Structure 1
Amino acid sequence: MAEGRLMERLRALIFKTAFYGGSVPIVLLAPVAALFGKSFFRSWVVGWTRYHGWCARNLMGIHTRFDGAPMRGPALYAAKHQSFYETFELVRLLDAPAVVMRQEYARIPVWGWAAKRYGIIVIDRSGSASALRQMMREAKAAGAAGRPVVIFPEGTRSAIGEAPPLQAGLAGLYRAVGLPLIPIALDSARVWPKVGPLHSGTVTFRFGDPIPAGLPRAEIEARVHAEMNHLNHPPL
C-alpha cells in the first residue's frame, strides 16, 4: 500500500511538471495567438485542453468515461464543479464553448484580456442587475452564433458528497438564451480532490436529458441541482 501511494505521488509529480511546464509557453503565447482572430485563438485553447487530456491519461492515469452525450447544435450546459479537470475536458469536448467565468479571473492581467478574446462570459456574483443583463446578452449572442454555453451554477469546487446551493444567474441565463438546458453530473473529485493528492482512475461525465426552454424558475433549478448531483455520492 505504501508503495502504491509512493507511485501515485511520483505520477502526480511527473504530470504536474509536464502539464504546468508545457503550459507556460502556451499561456505566454496566448495573447499573440489571439491577434490572429477568434477562430484561431479558440483552436489554440482547444489544443491546450488536448495537451492537458494527454498528460492526464498518459502520465497520471486519469481517464474519462461518458454516460450520454452532448447535443448537436448549441445548448446551455449546467455542470457540477469538483476540480480543475472538468474545466479543461468540457472545453475540449464541446469544442470551445462560451464559459461563464467569475469576474476575478477576467481581471488577471494579460490572461483576462486573452480570456475575453476567447469569448468567456463574465458573471458578477454580487448580483447587480446591470452585470446580470450584460451576462445574459453575451450568452444569448453566443447561442445565436452556434456556440454551446457552459456554466458551473454552484459557483465553486466541492468535495464528493457536497451539494452547495445554486448561485444567482442560472435561471436568468436559461431564460435569456432560450436554449435546451443539459445538466452535467461528474465525479472528478474522486481522482482530483479540492484538497489532497491526485489519484489515477476514471472520471464519469453524465449528460442528462435536454430540458426544454421556457420552464418556471423553481422547476428548472430543482431539476438541474438534482441531476448535477446524480454522481455525487460518498464512497461506502
Structure 2
Amino acid sequence: MFKQLILILRSALFYVGYVLATIVMSFIFILLFPLMPPRRRHGFAAAWCKSILGWLRLSCGVNYEITGTDNLLEQPAVYLSNHQSSWETLLFYTLIFPISPILKMELLKIPFWGWALRLLKPIAIDRSKPREAARSLLLQGEQRLKEGNSI
C-alpha cells in the first residue's frame, strides 16, 4: 500500500510539473515562434520534449533504452509507430529533426498548447471523416516532405 501511495504521489508530481511547464512554454512558443524560422521552432520543441522526458525520469523513474538509431535517415522520411501514448511523440521530437507528426485536428483547439502546436505545422486530420482524412494526409504529407520534414 505504501508503494502504491508513492507511485500516486510521483505521478501527481510529474503532472503538476508537466502542466506548469506546458503552460509557460506554450506562452513562450506563441510569442516567439512567429518570429522564428521553422527549423528553429522544431529545435525549441525538441528541447521542450527532452526536458519533459527528463522530468518524467526524475519524478517517476521512467528509464528507456533506444537501439537502432543508426537506421534513422538524414533526409525526410515517413516513420510509423504503434501509438500507445504521448510518450513516443515526445521521444520522436528528440530523435527526428524536423518532424511533423500526424494528429487529430481537435488537439489544435486546446487553448495555448494547441495554438503553439499549430505553429509547428503538424499534419492535422479529422478522424470523423476517414476518406477526407486520408486525402488530407497524403496532401499535407507530401507538402511536409517537400519542406524537409519527416512524418
Give identity over the alignment, percent.
21
Gaps (5+ residues) in structure 2? none
Quickly say closer, same or farther: Cα 1:7–1:114, change in 2 above 3 A: closer
**Pairing 1:107-122 to 2, within 5 Å after superposition:** 107-122=109-124
Task: Please report the RMSD computed on the Cα atoms of aligned residues, expressed in angstroms.
Answer: 2.0
Following superposition, the deviation at residue 97 of structure 1 comes to 0.8
Number of corresponding residues: 147
Quickly say closer, same or farther: Cα 1:47–1:62, change in 2 above 3 A: same
Task: Return the structure number with greater relative CO, CA threshold 8 A, min gap 6.
Answer: 2
Give the Cα–Cα distance (whole angstroms) in 2 for the partners of residues 114 and 19 of structure 1: 16
Q: Which residue of 1 aligns with 2:83?
A: 81
Q: Which residue of 1 aligns with 2:31?
A: 32
The secondary structure found in structure 2 opposite 1:35 is helix
Matched, 1:4 2:3: yes
Quickly say closer, same or farther: Cα 1:109–1:23, change in 2 above 3 A: closer
- The Cα offsets for residues 139-194 of structure 1, whole Å up to 9 and x where unpaired, read as 11222233210xxxxxxxxxxxxxxxxxxxxxxxxxxxxxxxxxxxxxxxxxxxxx
Higher relative helix content? 2
**Pairing 1:149-160 to 2, within 5 Å after superposition:** 149=151
Larger radius of gyration: 1
Give the Cα–Cα distance (whole angstroms) in 2 for the partners of residues 27 and 36 of structure 1: 15
- Contact kept, 8 Å, 2:104 with 2:124, in 1: the verdict is yes
**Pairing 1:1-236 to 2, within 5 Å after superposition:** 2-37=1-36, 38-69=38-69, 70-73=71-74, 74-125=76-127, 126-129=129-132, 131-149=133-151
Higher relative strand content? 1
| TM-score, normalised via structure 1 length | 0.56
- Contact kept, 8 Å, 2:42 with 2:99, in 1: the verdict is no
- Contact kept, 8 Å, 1:33 with 1:44, in 2: the verdict is no
Give the Cα–Cα distance (whole angstroms) in 2 for the partners of residues 110 and 16 of structure 1: 17
